[in-house]
Amino acid sequence: MLRLALKVSTPISEEFVKIGNLSTRSLSELKPRMKRSLDLIVSILLLVLSLPLVGLVALAILMSMGPPVFFRQIRPGLHCQPFSLLKFRSMCNAYDDKGNMLPGQQRITRLGRLLRSLSLDELPQLFNVLRGDMSLVGPRPLLTKYLELYTPEQMRRQEVKPGITGWAQVNGRNGITWEDKFALDVWYVDHQSIWLDLKILWLTLIKVVSREGVTTAGGTLAAHFAGTRKEKREGTLPSDSLPTAEQTKDAE
């Protein structure tokens, strides 16, 4: 009887393992589809609702700075694949006496400052989301030249599609260091979920309304990333730059 029971139970156990593996695999395949569906639904809805605003912003840029209305730049996307990022122009093309382009702090216009403070310059990136180059939520797409400056850990931010907003944007944005931003980006890569995306979108709305973190603590635009110093690479980031246990619980 004992031998018979073992012979019967073994195939049944194997079947349960197969079903469990199949369920896990199906869930992992379903997550990207759910995220893409969320991207498409929200992006189309936002584009339809914001069309009059997009028209007004485009007209204001034409009248104050002239064409072009949009700023295009190649940025690294998923797995460092390049794509053309789309934004509303916020700077004019101003040069010094020697023909060199002035720093961004001197070229940003009053309209540009207003657009950035309200995050309206990012609206055209909804088209990037529709094309599949970006997601609504993910690490921000930064300059291509930064890729060679990343540490192996920081490079992990390229394992997901870049986003219009992200975990770093709702936890300090330009008010925190580059190293803190990258640590938050990598945290998102390891904990991404639909619920976390919805939480980030809600927090983004609050941040946009309050205009929090648009500039640095000194009121200027964020400085360019120049690489992580050796002592920072070998050490650890400040603990307050990473999510607390309570935040992690809520995100999951």
Q: Count the domains in the chain.
A: 1
- Is 229 within the bounds of a domain? yes
Please give the single-letter amino acid code of residue 71.
Answer: F
| Distance between CA atoms of residues 15 and 207, nearest Å | 49
Question: Strands 163-165, 135-137: parallel, antiparallel or unpaired by DSSP?
Answer: parallel
In 99-212, beta strands by DSSP E: 135-137, 163-165
**pLDDT attached to residue 210:** 75
Q: Where does residue 173 fall: left (phi above 0), alpha (psi -120 to 50 degrees), or beta otherwise?
A: left
Assess contact for 101 and 132: CB atoms under 8 A: no
**pLDDT attached to residue 197:** 95
Q: Which among 52, 50, 58 has a CA at the least distance from the CA of 87? A: 58
Sequential pLDDT tens for the chain (252 residues): 545 444 544 555 565 445 445 455 555 677 888 999 999 999 999 999 999 999 999 999 999 888 999 999 999 999 999 999 999 998 887 777 777 777 767 788 899 999 988 889 999 999 999 999 999 999 999 999 999 999 999 999 999 999 999 999 999 877 888 999 999 999 999 999 999 999 999 999 988 887 665 554 444 566 788 888 654 554 444 444 344 433 333 333
Q: What are phi and psi of 220, to 5 degrees?
A: -105, 170
Domain that holds residue 205: 35-251
**Helix H or strand E segment including 20:** helix 2-64
**pLDDT attached to residue 160:** 96
Q: Taking the chain, what is the end-to-end CA distance rounded to the nearest angstrom? A: 47
- Residues listed for the chain: 252
Assess contact for 182 and 157: CB atoms under 8 A: yes
- Is 19 within the bounds of a domain? no
Please give the single-letter amino acid code of residue 19.
Answer: I
Determine the Cα angle at 55 with ends 52 and 57, to 5°: 110
- Is 25 within the bounds of a domain? no
